[in-house]
Structure 1
């Protein structure tokens, strides 16, 4: 009996190799074949996905922050736990591909009263059984179980890719939050210097007013300029503190025992990365790979929905020994077995199977649209970063020259005021314009650095801690 049962299960496994899921074809890439940018790849350019984030960021404090965040960030921890959840669900589903064998031992005693027996005397019966049982094993002739297993596997792989995407995003977000805090620190320092300078000018103006050397209008203008500088300094102090709070949340623990921070002007981030073609993003970006695995899962679910229209055949069997005496379980002639195949053919389901098939097809269409959208978003992120990379250096240089010009303007205005050629209004206006130009220059430098981080992330960089040794990209 065991041999016959084993052969039956093996034959069922062979016959159940077919699947009713549609043949998967990867959708066409809904973006241009090339990026519209004037920049070209350097001869020694490296793929972002192969470059470790330690090689990209030279600030030791930033490296320590990223390393700590990868351990303590709660969002990344949840993403890792989602992988364990999906793996467990896949293991549960894959168990249906194999028969479930159980060891069974039962014992029963029953007394039948005399009024219910033909012999007019009470009867006590005993029944003892020991053996193996096969509980309702489905013969997957139409691939229903196999399709569900494929869907569970694709869901698990999608979750794994989603965790990689969260890893990459966390690296870039920590870097951008740190750079923003450094920019606020530099702007706050500029605001503090400006406030101190204007406070000194205001005190001098007050003394001049007290001796009648200047008007009340000049005094109030100096006072207003001083208070505006104080407002700017307080605003930047608040923004810096909030940036620190955001960075602490990303890191997942208080920011203590860290290397000293470098100023924003000392930060350098490589931008000479290998860009490649838009189609390369399909392999470089884990969020796109996650969306494709979701699409594969939806495609497999269609196979399970189609198989529901066909008969389901299951086997229930058992083999062992049975006796009316406990001592006779393993005696000669006590062998017992059972074999109960079952066929269930859907006849009337009230439209349930048709609605379920329509549902799976709609979900596949949604997955296709989501997959295509993920490609379009990735393409735009890379294209935006490339455009900014080509123009930000020129913008910073222009802003630097504008700041230098404002410094010279302030010197000339102050000289003219000291010589009585022009009024203090020219000096005050030059001070305002210089302070604004200095803040804008810091903001432009921050934009260049954050754009470099965005380019690295959008090309799939950030998953590796150290650079992977590979041949130069071509």
Structure 2
């Protein structure tokens, strides 16, 4: 009697659920990230022609071609695309639960007398079954929501991979150009040091220079020479890293452009910190994962309540032999787990804890994005100031070396002054190239930190 009463109550609950369209999924609210109103570094671009695409950022034909090649052949990006396909397949399976399930079966048999020439009996049946699970508590709909959110998350992940790939291609490309410039500077200074070495040897032969002068200049010459193979090795490794991003083997790969000198770093407008919630694909991916986890709570909660399934079956017998008969049946089944040792309530707790974890992950991702933009803006300003000062330093170092060499030839200064001026010029020219590279890299990092050319819809 108690069981009968329980079934009646469960049926009543199920009917109410159908009529009300119940959903046990919590209402989603975006976590409050408490973003600042502005950036710490306020010097931003005021031009309306701020680049929005990588090809507009530096307007370099070879870089544009390398990026296109990387997007077509990079294996990490291809793997990210397949993860989207996996998520879509999962979403397709989740959506199938919203539709009825139908199956058909056909069976036939014939009995014949052994050694005889007539049949004893024959039969043929075909059966069509249709079943449909009523989504009483919104579990199937929540599953679809979770799967759709995970598809979006994997799409955002792919865009993040794409953005990082483009930034890495640009970074390695300009690093290659900078190493070519540094190598050219070292070789130019090496030739100058050799010329000075020849001058000192002539003066030594005539008694105008000492053996100490010869030894000091030879030491300076060797110090410059030893830098050349190190720079050549760095250039080889950088171009190999770039080839890897392009899906190529490093052999026979070489960047055609020879210098960083003509590269003009772009001016970028940072916008407002709140824009990052929409602009950055990693932030959108973190929120999509959070949305999926929120829907998972609804799935877990629905498992605590009864499930109902409607089934319709049609059976046709002996339809091949003519004397057919048809039987149809419509059934309703209600199922409820009475005791599971706390497994389903544990699933609810797990889903809720996962959602709370992803809230923290989302907030941390937002804070990281703010930090990256803020640091990049500061890096741009610092690199600009450093490059300006080093340009002046190079001009003065070149002048000092010319004067010191002239005075040494005239016998007014000793060789030590020339050596110090020679070392200062080499260091200043090398530092200026690295400062220019830092300025370019700061723009690349800022563009990536702002979300690049990707924009959410």
TM-score normalised by length of structure 2: 0.88
The structural deviation recorded for 1:105 is 1.3
Q: In the alignment, what sits opposite 1:31?
A: 35
Distance change >3 Å, CA 177–CA 12, structure 1 → 2: farther
The structural deviation recorded for 1:207 is 4.7
Contact 1:61 1:258 in 2 (8 A): no
Partner Cα separation in structure 2 for residue 14 and residue 267 of structure 1: 66
The structural deviation recorded for 1:452 is 1.2
Distance change >3 Å, CA 15–CA 94, structure 1 → 2: farther
Partner Cα separation in structure 2 for residue 252 and residue 326 of structure 1: 62
Q: Deviations over 1:331-388 (max 9, x none)?
A: 4xx1112334332212221221122222111211121111111111111121112222
Distance change >3 Å, CA 444–CA 43, structure 1 → 2: closer
Q: In the alignment, what sits opposite 1:116?
A: none
The structural deviation recorded for 1:103 is 2.3
SS in 1 for 2:153: helix
Contact 1:16 1:143 in 2 (8 A): no
Q: In the alignment, what sits opposite 1:408?
A: 399
Partner Cα separation in structure 1 for residue 253 and residue 433 of structure 2: 27
Partner Cα separation in structure 2 for residue 82 and residue 261 of structure 1: 36
In the alignment of these two chains, the number of paired residues is 434
Q: In the alignment, what sits opposite 1:291?
A: 286
Q: In the alignment, what sits opposite 2:408?
A: 417
Correspondence list, 1:87-166, <5 A: 87-108=88-109, 127-135=123-131, 137-166=132-161
Q: In the alignment, what sits opposite 2:81?
A: 80
Partner Cα separation in structure 2 for residue 378 and residue 242 of structure 1: 30
Q: In the alignment, what sits opposite 2:21?
A: 17
Q: In the alignment, what sits opposite 1:327?
A: 321
Unaligned runs of 5+ in 2: 1-14, 113-119
Q: In the alignment, what sits opposite 1:240?
A: 235
* Residue among 161, 173, 177 paired with 1:178: 173
SS in 2 for 1:315: strand
SS in 1 for 2:413: coil
Partner Cα separation in structure 2 for residue 13 and residue 261 of structure 1: 69
Q: Deviations over 1:249-275 (max 9, x none)?
A: 1122368899942521111242143x2
- Which structure has more RCO (C-alpha within 8 Å, separation ≥ 6)? 1
Moved more, 53-62 or 284-293: 53-62
Q: In the alignment, what sits opposite 1:65?
A: 66
Contact 2:18 2:135 in 1 (8 A): no
Distance change >3 Å, CA 127–CA 30, structure 1 → 2: farther
SS in 2 for 1:387: helix
Distance change >3 Å, CA 151–CA 377, structure 1 → 2: same
The structural deviation recorded for 1:316 is 3.4
The structural deviation recorded for 1:186 is 0.3
TM-score normalised by length of structure 1: 0.85
Q: In the alignment, what sits opposite 1:372?
A: 363
SS in 1 for 2:91: helix
Contact 2:279 2:454 in 1 (8 A): no
Partner Cα separation in structure 1 for residue 222 and residue 453 of structure 2: 44
Partner Cα separation in structure 1 for residue 341 and residue 268 of structure 2: 62
Partner Cα separation in structure 2 for residue 435 and residue 379 of structure 1: 38
Partner Cα separation in structure 2 for residue 269 and residue 414 of structure 1: 36
The structural deviation recorded for 1:415 is 2.8
Correspondence list, 1:423-434, <5 A: 423-434=414-425
Q: Deviations over 1:3-42 (max 9, x none)?
A: xxxxxxxx99965832211110000124312111232552
Matched, 1:438 2:439: no
SS in 1 for 2:309: strand
Contact 2:268 2:447 in 1 (8 A): no
Partner Cα separation in structure 2 for residue 410 and residue 390 of structure 1: 30
* Residue among 220, 242, 260 paired with 1:225: 220
SS in 2 for 1:37: coil
Q: Deviations over 1:142-192 (max 9, x none)?
A: 112221111111001111111112222222111111000000000000011
Q: In the alignment, what sits opposite 2:12?
A: none
Partner Cα separation in structure 2 for residue 93 and residue 384 of structure 1: 43
Contact 1:309 1:353 in 2 (8 A): yes
Distance change >3 Å, CA 155–CA 279, structure 1 → 2: same
CA RMSD of aligned residues (A): 2.6
Correspondence list, 1:197-208, <5 A: 197-208=192-203
Q: In the alignment, what sits opposite 2:264?
A: 268
